[in-house]
Amino acid sequence: MTEDIERQVIEIVARKKKLTADAVTLDSTFSALSIDSLDAADLLFAVEDAFGVLVPDDAAQSMRTVGQVVEGVRRLIAERPSVA
């Protein structure tokens, strides 16, 4: 599951910035990828849609790397109530 989240987030970022997935790593910063505030908002919506989560504004504003996005998604998925 962890690798799937990483792969999906990297693919979303790469697609949004028209890069190859190989060009995006967990250590890639938004700055290095030329992700501005509008790109970040668009990226956030894509991630929320892909994973069925809602990223709180304060968490979104503190994310600066692809790895932080992955970690945030992991945390939100883990916190979801399980369906019996």
Q: What are the beta bridge partners of residue 65?
A: 29
Residue position matching structure tokens 């600066």? 64
Tokens for 50, please give them.
Answer: 């892909």
Contact assessment for residue 59 and residue 17, using Cβ atoms and an 8 Å cutoff: no
Predicted confidence at residue 20, as pLDDT, reads 96
What are the CA-CA distances from residue 65 to residues 26, 34, 45 (Å)? Answer: 7, 12, 16
Closest Cα partner for 1 from 60, 54, 65, 80?
80
**Residue 16 contacts residue 39 (beta carbons within 8 Å):** yes
Reported confidence tier of residue 1, pLDDT bands at 50, 70, 90: low
What are 23-46's pLDDT values in tens digits? 999 999 999 999 999 999 999 999
Q: Rounded to two decimals, what is the model's pTM? A: 0.90
pLDDT at 2 over 70: no
> Which structural domains are found in the chain, ordered by start?
2-76 (1.10.1200.10)
